[in-house]
């Protein structure tokens, strides 16, 4: 823990300013907050009661304290040693507003809920979100997509909270959104997003969603803890095909395994550590590069010491952020 955090952790002005405006915990285990079910404790954990409480928390949090926004934790790998900073659970940012074909949604809204309610309103363009186990804020933070759809197709603009507590609006055209990529201001988090959709019959929209869900359940290990696609697909190929061709499908290290069902998924078989999963990621990168010359880039977001390891160039490039596509 850095000196600034040590000095502040006993005290307390910043903690006192925010802890009564939501759910506050210290040394909160992160495994229950991630779909991989791994990860040590967060030094501080805060679930703000509403948008204003979140803004207050970010404004008062010392600049030397790292902030980690948390949705469902569906594409996040937290070290076994935990996260030495403040985790912000955004689940209470859950408001949806419909105005004809324009929908504004809070960052904490589950993408599956967003897709269902759009279908109820006869709005098409975000059906794929019915199959993505994350929230809207996380989906935007990496331009999530699958089934030939992605967030950038229908996104109009977003509201972003900066580290100093100020809020800015950014139009989608200014975000440089490409495959699993978006340009966001440093140390910012998404507050809300506005989408511009098209009309269609609700039954037809729901049928497309059912088809997508059926395809996912038949090809991916959704019954076991996982983080979605582990690697981005390289140009002109699929990460899963490359991993399978390298003979790694079904490979187990500790309690983690490269899925027998889909080689771009790593599953927790009940007793995996975060280190087990990182070992499999590194093994897959090394084998694929040795056999094909292709460097697989992680799609899963590395947190804490794992992010430091990637930034030092020991494990390839650090991923952008959340949710995913696969060998489809």
Whether residue 295 lies in the annotated active site: no
State the Cα–Cα distance between residues 259 and 224, nearest whole angstrom.
10
Report the Cα 275 to chain-centroid distance in Å: 19
CA distances from 208 to 118, 126, 205, 266 (A): 13, 10, 5, 27
Q: Which of the following is catalytic: 127, 287, 299, 305?
A: 299
State the Cα–Cα distance between residues 56 and 61, nearest whole angstrom.
9
Q: Which of the following is catalytic: 91, 152, 229, 274?
A: 229
Locate 188 and state its tokens. Answer: 């910012």
SS3 category, 154: coil
Q: Give me Rg for the CA atoms of the chain.
A: 20
Q: Which of the following is catalytic: 110, 180, 257, 301?
A: 180
Whether residue 53 lies in the annotated active site: no
Whether residue 180 lies in the annotated active site: yes
Q: Looking at the chain, how many residues does it have?
A: 328
> How many CA atoms lie less than 13 Å away from 60 in the CB half-sphere?
18
Strands (E), the chain: 22-29, 41-48, 66-70, 76-77, 83-89, 96-99, 102-106, 123-124, 145-146, 149-150, 155-161, 167-171, 189-196, 198-199, 252-253, 256-258, 266-268, 301-302
Instruction: Count CB-CB contacts under 10 A for residue 31.
Output: 20
Active-site residue set = 180, 229, 299
């Amino acid at each position: 823990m850095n000196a600034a955090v040590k000095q502040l952790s006993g005290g307390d002005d910043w903690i006192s300013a925010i802890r009564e405006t939501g759910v506050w915990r210290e040394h909160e285990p992160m495994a229950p907050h991630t779909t991989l079910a791994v990860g040590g404790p967060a030094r501080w954990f805060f679930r703000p009661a509403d948008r204003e409480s979140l803004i207050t928390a970010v404004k008062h949090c010392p600049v030397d304290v790292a902030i980690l926004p948390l949705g469902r934790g569906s594409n996040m790998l937290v070290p076994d040693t935990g996260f030495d900073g403040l985790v912000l659970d955004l689940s209470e940012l859950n408001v949806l507003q419909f105005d004809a074909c324009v929908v504004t949604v809070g960052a904490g809204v589950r993408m599956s809920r967003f897709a269902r309610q759009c279908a109820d309103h006869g709005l098409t363009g975000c059906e794929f979100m019915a199959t993505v186990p994350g929230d809207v804020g996380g989906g935007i933070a990496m331009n999530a997509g699958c089934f030939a759809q992605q967030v950038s197709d229908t996104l109009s603009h977003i509201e972003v909270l900066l580290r100093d507590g100020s809020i800015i609006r950014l139009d989608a055209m200014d975000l440089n959104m490409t495959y699993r990529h978006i340009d966001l201001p440093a140390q910012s988090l998404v507050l809300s997003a506005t989408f511009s959709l098209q009309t269609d019959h609700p039954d037809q929209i729901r049928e497309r969603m059912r088809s997508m869900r059926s395809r996912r359940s038949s090809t991916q290990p959704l019954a076991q803890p996982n983080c979605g696609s582990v690697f981005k697909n390289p140009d002109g190929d699929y990460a899963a095909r490359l991993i399978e061709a390298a003979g790694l499908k079904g490979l187990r290290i500790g309690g983690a395994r490269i899925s027998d069902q889909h080689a771009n998924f790593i599953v927790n078989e009940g007793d995996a550590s975060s280190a087990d999963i990182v070992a499999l990621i590194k093994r897959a990168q090394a084998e694929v590069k040795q056999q094909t010359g292709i460097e697989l880039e992680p799609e899963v977001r590395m947190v804490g010491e794992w992010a430091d390891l990637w930034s030092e160039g020991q494990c390839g490039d650090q991923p952008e952020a959340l949710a995913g596509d696969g060998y489809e």
